[in-house]
């Protein structure tokens, strides 16, 4: 009788709920580059939603989101908050390089694995040997080399450089100027400006007198919008060339489609529509009906979240074990292509894509009217 009762209890018992595993997302959810941060957050959330819908998943995942505001002091505060929470196993962290540089020591100190999804300053992975810090996107070295070669091959000779004075802007100035010289270009003037500067009349008036072929801007969207707008007010006809920092819909919207036309930008990796999992990602993203687009770095945040969850599925929610699995990442298929971390846990990204604003949208250069000669960049 006891045996029968026990059997009935076993049959009627509900299926045990899966353990909940928390992972963090940290990025700029407010402020001038919030469009990028919100796209990254949505993309990491999408990865979590899809994983939780998979019956084969061993765990239920929860995304803990934090706003670093693209400010280093705030970034350190929120990084400390998530890293000190032992219920959070790892993090998808940072778009802004200055913030990422300020937080690497936090993740190392607390032993929390972090996978950077957008910040491009090389020193984030290479300045230290923090085994907790990884990066799925490429660095500004990759960007600068391709950018310098491309624009000099177009026939431009003289550049004026404006960069913000954060680590991000100074890094872009350093690497781009070096590669530009190697490719036969000349920097005739360089101006460092603060990230919150509003008026560029002084710098742009001096630049106008020097008559450069190109104005190269090393910084993020808000500053890029102000500079491009004020270039027009001062009658400067030079070509505008930006970094991945202006590669957002917000840049085009900020300056207007007509003024944004012909602006250049460079981004590591293939364009979304040409990524191995680009179609899948786009369809699933649209199905979730997020209020914001994924933007340029969304696929990287999606890939970073999946790498973390893959590691957890393999070894459980143990920070050290997850870190070790991430460190051994080699030829892993993701929607951004194969991911391989080098000895400093930097993804080896073999491709940088060239973009130009064509009819109000960022378009891959090879697919644009500029590549076919139907349209001409400034001064060509």
* pLDDT at 11 (0 to 100): 44
**Stretch 334-352: mean pLDDT:** 93
Nearest to 295 by CA among 118, 30, 40, 33: 40
**What's the mean pLDDT when you consider all of the chain?**
94
Question: Tell me: the pLDDT tens digits for 77-117?
Answer: 999 999 999 999 999 999 999 999 999 999 999 999 999 99
Q: Nearest Cα to 347, choosing from 315, 312, 299, 281?
A: 299
Q: Is the pLDDT of residue 5 over 80?
A: no
The pLDDT of residue 3 is above 80: no
8 Å CB contact between 42 and 81: no
The confidence score (pLDDT) of residue 314 equals 98
Q: Is the pLDDT of residue 211 over 80?
A: yes
**What pLDDT is recorded for position 100?**
98
Beta bridge partners of 266: 354
Contact between residue 230 and residue 204 where contact means Cβ atoms under 8 Å apart = yes
Question: Each residue of 112-148: pLDDT tens digit?
Answer: 999 999 999 999 999 999 999 999 999 999 899 999 9
Say if residues 46 and 37 touch (Cβ distance below 8 Å): no
Cα→Cα distances 102→76, 176, 216, Å: 6, 23, 26
Give me the mean pLDDT over the 58-75 stretch: 98
pTM, two decimals, is 0.91
Residue linked to tokens 């892993």: 332
pLDDT, position 16: 66
- 278-287 vs 298-315: helix axis angle to the nearest 10? 90
For residue 10, pLDDT beyond 80: no
Mean pLDDT confidence for 233-250: 96
Burial degree of 337 (CB within 10 A; 0-12, 13-18, 19+): buried
Placement of tokens 């191995």 in the chain: 276
Give, in degrees to the nearest 5, the angle at Cα 295 between 272 and 74.
135
* Residue 9 pLDDT greater than 50, yes or no: no
According to DSSP, residue 371 is labeled T
Lowest mean pLDDT among 11-25, 188-202, 273-287, 291-305: 11-25
* Percent above pLDDT 90 for the chain: 92
Residue 6, pLDDT > 50, answer no
Cβ atoms of 303 and 334 closer than 8 Å: yes
Among residues 72, 15, 29, the alpha carbon closest in space to that of 291 is found at: 29
Q: Is the pLDDT of residue 2 over 50?
A: no
Look at residue 34 in the predicted model and tell me its pLDDT: 97
pLDDT band at residue 378 using 50, 70 and 90 as cut-offs: very high
Spatial contact of 66 and 112, defined as CB atoms under 8 Å apart: no
d(CA 327, CA 353): 27
Residue 336 — very low, low, confident or very high, per pLDDT cuts 50/70/90?
very high
Average pLDDT estimate for 17-33? 96
Report d(CA 307, CA 38) in Å as an integer: 20
Tell me the pLDDT band of 12, cut-offs 50, 70 and 90: very low
Instruction: Say what the pLDDT of residue 15 is.
Output: 54
Question: For residue 217, how far is the Cα from the chain centroid?
Answer: 17
pLDDT value at residue 342: 97
Pick the residue with more confidence: 90 or 1? 90
Buried b (16+ CB within 10 A) or exposed e, 117-147: bbbbbbebbbeeebbbbbbbbbbbbbbbbbb
Rounded CA separation 21/313 (Å): 10
Give the pLDDT mean for 293-314. 97
How do beta strands 264-268 and 352-358 pair?
antiparallel
């Amino acid at each position: 009788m006891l045996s029968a009762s026990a059997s009935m209890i076993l049959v009627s018992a509900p299926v045990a709920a899966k353990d909940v595993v928390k992972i963090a997302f940290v990025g700029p959810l407010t402020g001038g580059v919030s469009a990028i941060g919100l796209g990254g957050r949505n993309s990491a959330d999408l990865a979590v939603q899809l994983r939780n819908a998979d019956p084969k998943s061993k765990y239920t995942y929860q995304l803990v989101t934090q706003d670093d505001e693209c400010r280093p002091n705030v970034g350190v505060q929120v990084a400390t908050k998530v890293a000190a929470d032992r219920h959070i196993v790892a993090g998808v962290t940072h778009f802004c390089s200055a913030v990422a540089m300020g937080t690497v020591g936090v993740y190392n100190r607390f032993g929390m694995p972090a996978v950077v999804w957008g910040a491009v300053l090389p020193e984030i992975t290479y300045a230290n040997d923090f085994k907790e810090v990884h990066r799925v996107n490429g660095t500004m070295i990759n960007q600068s080399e391709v950018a310098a070669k491309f624009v000099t091959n177009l026939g431009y000779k003289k550049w004026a450089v404006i960069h913000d004075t954060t680590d991000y802007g100074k890094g872009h100035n350093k690497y781009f100027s070096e590669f530009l010289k190697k490719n036969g270009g000349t920097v005739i003037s360089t101006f460092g400006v603060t990230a919150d500067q509003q008026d560029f009349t002084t710098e742009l008036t001096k630049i106008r007198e020097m008559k450069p072929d190109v104005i190269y801007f090393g910084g993020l969207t808000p500053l890029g919008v102000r500079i491009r707008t004020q270039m027009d007010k001062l009658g400067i006809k030079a070509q505008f060339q930006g970094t991945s920092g202006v590669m957002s819909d917000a840049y085009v919207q900020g300056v207007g489609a007509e003024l944004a036309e012909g602006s250049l930008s460079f981004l590591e990796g293939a364009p979304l529509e040409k990524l191995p999992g680009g179609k899948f990602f786009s369809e699933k993203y649209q199905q979730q009906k997020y209020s914001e687009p994924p933007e340029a770095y969304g696929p990287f945040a999606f890939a970073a979240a999946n790498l973390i969850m893959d590691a957890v599925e393999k070894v459980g929610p143990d920070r050290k074990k997850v870190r070790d699995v991430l460190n051994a990442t080699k030829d892993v298929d993701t929607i951004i292509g194969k991911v391989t971390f080098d000895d400093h846990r930097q993804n080896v990204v073999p491709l940088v894509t060239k973009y130009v604003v064509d009819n109000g949208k960022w378009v891959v250069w090879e697919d644009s009217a500029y590549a076919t000669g139907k349209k001409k960049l400034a001064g060509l």
